[in-house]
A and B are shown apart, each in its own frame.
Chain A
Amino acid sequence: MTDPALQMTGVRKVYGSGDQEVVALDCDELTIAEDEIVALVGPSGSGKTTLCSIAGGLLQATEGTVEVGGRDITELSASELTDFRRTAVGFVFQTVNLVPFLTARENLLVVDELGGRRSRNGAKAKERADQLLDELGLTDRAGNLSSELSGGQRQRVAIGRALMNDPALVLFDEPTSALDSKLGDQVVKLIRDEMKSRGTAAIIVTHDDRITHYADRTVHIEDGRITD
C-alpha cells in the first residue's frame, strides 16, 4: 500500500499563550490519498490557510504530526523545510505570482534554480519544463514574459511551476478568486485533469462552491476544526 499524500494527526497550531491563546487549527485527523483532490472550504479566518501552510511546510504545527508523501516533516528545521518545499510540494497562489521578468519556461525552471548546487541536472530540468509546457498547451508561449500571457495562460504556467518537482501534494490557494466565472471554471477543470493524469494529490482552498463539484471530496473547516 502506498503512503497517503498527506497525513495530519492531532495537529494544533496555537498562537500566544495563557489567556491570550488563540487556536488557529485543531485537526484530529486528516488523510488525503495519493491521487485525491480535496476542496477545503470554510469562511475567512476558519483555519484554511493555516492548514495549507502546515501541510506545505510553510508553518510548523505546535503539536501533532504531519507526513507528506510518507515523510514526517514535523521536526524539520527551517532550512530542511525550505528544501522540502522545493522538492516535495507544489504551490499555486491566489494571484498566480509569476516572476514578472521571466518567461513562461524560466518561471518553471526557477524552482530548480532556487536549489543552486542541490538542484537537478540543468538539462533534465529543461526537459521537464518543456514537457510540462507541452502538456499544458503552452509550448508556443514558452518564451513569453508573464505580462504577455492571458490570465488563463498565467494560471497554467503557475500550475506547471507547481508540478516541476514531481510533488506528492499540490496546494492551490483560491486559484479562481481573481478569475471570472468562465475562466475560473476552465482553470478548475484544468487542475482536475492535470492532477488526475499524474496521480498527484491536491488541496484546493476555496470559497467557491462550484469548485467542490470537481473535487473528490470536500472538507469543511470552521474555527480551526474540520467539521466533516
Chain B
Amino acid sequence: MKLALRELRRRPGRFLAATAVLTVLAVLLMFLGGLLDGLLAGATGAYRAQPADAIVYSTNARESLVRSRIEAPIRDAVEGVDGVAEVGGLGSIQLGARPGSDPDARELISTALLGYEMAPRGLPDEPPGEGQVIADTTLKADDIEVGDTLLLGPARTEVEVVGFVEDTNYAGQTALWASLDTWRSVTEANRPDRVFADDAVAALVVRIDGDASSITEAIDEATEGATDTLTLDAAIEALPGVSQQRSTFNQIIGVTTVIALVVVGLFFALITVERTALYGILKAIGGSSRTLFGGVLLQAVLLALIASALATAAAVALASVIPPGTLPFVVTGQRILTSVVLMVVAAMVGCAFSLRRVLRIDPAAAIGTAS
C-alpha cells in the first residue's frame, strides 16, 4: 500500500490524464444529478412540504391535482376511516401572473396558486388572509418582493405577496400559497368552468396513524371507489414528468458511470502492462498478487476520490453563481455522496479488469530476463 501511495506522490504526472478525465466525468455526474434534483425539486416541492402521509384524489382525476375534485360527503367518509388522524383540503390552479407594477407585461410568470388547510412546511398554520399569498422564493428572481401584488390569470385577479417560503414549487411553477377561500375566488374568476363550492376542494392531504398502505386502501373502500388514495411518495412519483425526468437522467448518469468505469479500466490495464516487469520482480521478492492488486485498487480509489473532490468544488461553485430561479440546479449532500460512491465503485470495478493480468504475472519471469 505504501508503495502505491509513494508512486502517486512521486509520479503524479503519470496519473494526471486519468485524474483529469475522471474529474470531468465526476463534474458531469454531479451536474446531471444537480439538474435532476433541481428539476424534481421544482416539480415536487409542494408535495414534499406536506405534513401528510397520503393524498386523496377523486377517481376520475387520474392521480392529478388539476383534474381532481373532492366534495364534502367524500371528505366526511375519509375522515371517518380508522387510522386517519388528520385531513386537510388542498386546492390548485395554474395561472400566468403579471407583476402588479406592470399589468401589461407580455412575459407571464408561471405560477400555481395552492390553497391549504394543513400548513405545509415553512407556512403559518393559519393561511394568509383573503387576497394574500405566500410565494415560493423563486419568485424573487422576477423582482417580486413582500408587499408587491400579482395579477393572476386572464381575469388579472390581484393578490398581495405577504411572505416567502422555500422549496415548495409545484410542477415547475412558482407556488403561491393561499387560503382555500382565496384559491376558490381566484379559480372562480379565471376558470368559470371549474368552480368549487365552499365545502369542496381539489384533493385531501391525510395524516395517517398506522400502516399507510392498508389505510390508503381503507380510504378508497370507505368512499366506495370515489377516491384514488396514494401515499405521499407515490403521489410525488405520479406528478407530471417526475418519473420520466428521473428515469431519463438516471440513464444518462448510468452511462456516465460506465464511461468512468471504462476510463479507469483502460488506464489501469495500460499501467499494469507497463508494470509487468516491476510486478514480476516484486512477486519474486515476496509480494503477493493480493498486495500488488491492493495497491492498484488503492490508486484507483484515490484517483476517484481526488476527481470527486475537485468535481464537488466545481459543483458547489457552479451552484453559487447560478442566480435563483434561472437554472434548476441544486447541490445536495446526498447527491454529492451518491456521485462519489458511483465514481468509487466505477473505479473499483474498472481496475478489477487488471486483476487477471496481475494474477498472471509469473515471478519466475523475473529471473533470466534482461528487463
Contacts and interface: CB of A to CB of B under 8 A. Distances in A.
Contacts of A18: none
Contacts of B370: 94-95, 177-178
Contacts of B368: 48-49, 52-53, 94, 173
Interface of B: 1-3, 6-7, 10-11, 277-278, 281-288, 291, 363-364, 366-371
Given A58-B367, A91-B367, A97 B278 contact: yes
A15 interface: no
B6 A102 contact: yes
A161 B281 CA distance: 12
A35 to B, nearest CB: 22
Contacts of B277: 97
B286 A106 contact: no
Contacts of B6: 101-102, 106
A151 B284 CA distance: 22
Nearest to A177: B370
Contacts of A94: 368-370
B288 A85 contact: no
Contacts of B3: 99, 102, 110, 113-114
A83 interface: yes
Given A85-B286, A95-B370, 10 more contacts: A49-B367, A58-B364, A59-B364, A85-B285, A91-B367, A93-B284, A94-B369, A113-B1, A116-B1, A161-B285
A79 interface: yes
Interface string A177-203: 110000000000000000000000000
A115 B291 CA distance: 8
Contacts of A59: 364
B366 A93 contact: yes
Q: Chain B interface mostly helix, strand, loop or mixed? A: helix
A224 interface: no
A93 B364 CA distance: 11
A111 interface: yes
Contacts of A53: 364, 367-368
Interface of A: 48-49, 52-53, 56, 58-59, 79, 82-83, 85-87, 91, 93-95, 97, 99-102, 106, 110-111, 113-116, 145, 161, 165, 171, 173, 177-178
Q: Chain A interface mostly helix, strand, loop or mixed? A: mixed
B284 A85 contact: yes
Nearest to B287: A114
B35 to A, nearest CB: 41
Contacts of B281: 93, 97
B148 to A, nearest CB: 65
Contacts of A52: 367-368
Contacts of B366: 58, 91, 93, 97
Contact of A82 (B7, B11, B283): B283
Given A53-B364, A101-B10, A58 B284 contact: yes
26 contacts: A49-B367, A58-B364, A85-B284, A86-B287, A87-B286, A91-B285, A91-B367, A93-B281, A94-B370, A95-B371, A99-B282, A100-B278, A101-B10, A102-B3, A110-B285, A113-B1, A114-B3, A114-B282, A114-B285, A114-B286, A114-B287, A116-B1, A145-B10, A171-B367, A173-B367, A173-B368
A113 B288 contact: no
A85 B10 contact: no
A177 to B, nearest CB: 7
Which residue, A56, A94, A97, has most C-beta atoms of chain B within 10 A?
A97
A177 B364 CA distance: 19
Closest 8 CB pairs of A and B: A86-B286, A49-B368, A114-B287, A58-B364, A101-B10, A85-B286, A97-B281, A53-B364
Given A58-B363, A102-B3, A173-B367, A82 B288 contact: yes
A74 B366 CA distance: 21
Contacts of B1: 113, 116
A158 B103 CA distance: 86
Contacts of A83: 286
